[in-house]
A and B are shown apart, each in its own frame.
Chain A
Amino acid sequence: QSALTQPASVSGSPGQSITISCTGTSSDVGGYYYVSWYQQHPGQAPKLIIFDIIKRPSGVSSRFSGSKSDNTASLTISGLQAEDEADYYCCSYAGSWWVFGGGTKLTVL
């Protein structure tokens, strides 16, 4: 199966908002309400920040939000902060397995 498509990089200034897209197919993103997003800082393990498209785990800032339209899911980070600089990965259920996006490097200018 092919990886989901994410932009390689995005950037924004502190306080701004950015959106990262994640495009799949009707067999994964479009077919299920099960998209999750993970944040990974250099040298660290991934951390769950959004699940079931729009839900946030306890302890994750409300500045992180998710959405989905057809075969594309999106992660929005509002009020950018320096500590948001990291790699972000979307992940979708695909019936019997999961598939990740290629990852997006967020730079906070």
Chain B
Amino acid sequence: EVQLVQSGAEVRQPGESLKISCKVSDYSFGDLWIGWVRQMPGKGLEWMGIIYPGDSDTRYSPSFQGRVTISADRSISTAYLQWNSLKASDTAIYYCARRPDNPVPAIYFDLWGRGTLVTVSS
């Protein structure tokens, strides 16, 4: 069964760095894009960015450009979302989601991870 397995909940202080992960199981890492979506407490979904692990092509929403970094490690079928300096306003659930790329690039996200809760508090 294809799954996106996300890393566990994290608690950090403002100013700290963080890298969360999304591991793809039972699916070719070269046949998909991985997107990241933020959901702040009690709020809606916000699209952050996306990566194609095949060539590391990465796109960001203008709202998140420069604030986060998306990367991937093909050798372990894992995508990452990282911050260099967290703020309290980064407190949210972060979901990774699959955009299939085979046979043609889909323009939707058909499989989602369970989410990683990030809490930033002093």
Contacts and interface: CB of A to CB of B under 8 A. Distances in A.
Interface of A: 1, 3, 32, 34, 36, 38, 40, 45-48, 51-52, 57, 87, 89, 91, 93, 96-103
A47 B62 contact: no
A101 B44 contact: yes
A98 B47 contact: yes
Given A89-B45, A91-B47, A100-B44, A45 B108 contact: no
Nearest to B60: A97
B44 A89 contact: yes
A100 B35 CA distance: 13
Interface string B81-122: 000000000000001010000000011111111110000000
Q: How large is the interface on B (under 10, 10 to 19, 20 to 34, 35 or more residues)?
A: 20 to 34
A47 B61 CA distance: 21
22 contacts: A3-B46, A36-B107, A45-B114, A46-B97, A46-B112, A47-B112, A48-B108, A48-B110, A52-B107, A52-B108, A89-B44, A91-B45, A91-B108, A91-B109, A97-B50, A97-B59, A97-B60, A98-B50, A100-B44, A100-B45, A100-B47, A102-B44
Contacts of B115: 45
A40 B106 CA distance: 21
A51 B112 contact: no
Contacts, number: 68
Contacts of B107: 32, 34, 36, 51-52, 93
Contacts of B46: 3, 100
A70 B107 CA distance: 19
Given A51-B107, A98-B35, A98-B61, 11 more contacts: A1-B63, A3-B46, A38-B109, A45-B112, A45-B114, A46-B37, A46-B112, A52-B108, A57-B110, A97-B47, A100-B44
A20 B5 CA distance: 31
